[in-house]
């Protein structure tokens, strides 16, 4: 939905859309994590090796991601709302 269409919705409809989006996103993410787990098991069973980044590299990647998210959030209130929600579930 583009911003023009969003702005034409009444506040109660915007609330319904956001609640529906959050419920769908949670289920989608949970389903994706489950499927990734299955795929990783198949990968390892087929002889693949899982490599893990050093914690220092992971921390650096998170810092860069958060900085990028914050820049996007500063540009748009709706993006800011989504990014705040996403940070919450990623914590």
Domain stops at, among 16, 33, 49: 49
Instruction: Give the pTM.
Output: 0.51
- Domain range for 64: 52-91
Residues 5 and 20 in one domain: yes
Distance (Å, whole) CA 9 – CA 78? 14
Which residue bears the tokens 């998170």? 62
Q: pLDDT, tens digit, for every residue of 61-81? A: 999 999 999 999 999 998 999
Residues 3 and 31 in one domain: yes
Instruction: Using DSSP, state whether 10 is helix, strand or coil.
Output: coil
Residues 67 and 33 in one domain: no
Q: pLDDT, tens digit, for every residue of 10-52? A: 999 999 999 998 889 888 988 999 999 999 999 999 999 999 9
Q: In this structure, what DSSP letter does residue 47 have?
A: T
Which residue bears the tokens 């990968």? 43
User: Counting Cβ atoms within 10 Å, is residue 78 exposed (0-12), middle (13-18) or buried (19+)?
Assistant: middle
Residues 56 and 17 in one domain: no
């Amino acid at each position: 939905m583009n911003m023009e269409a969003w702005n034409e919705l009444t506040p109660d409809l915007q609330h319904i859309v956001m609640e529906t989006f959050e419920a769908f996103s949670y289920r989608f993410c949970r389903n994706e994590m489950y499927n990734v787990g299955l795929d990783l098991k198949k990968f390892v069973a087929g002889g693949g090796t899982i490599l893990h980044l050093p914690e220092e590299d992971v921390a650096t990647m998170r810092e860069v991601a958060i900085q990028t998210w914050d820049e996007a959030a500063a540009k748009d209130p709706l993006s800011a709302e989504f990014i705040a929600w996403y940070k919450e579930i990623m914590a």
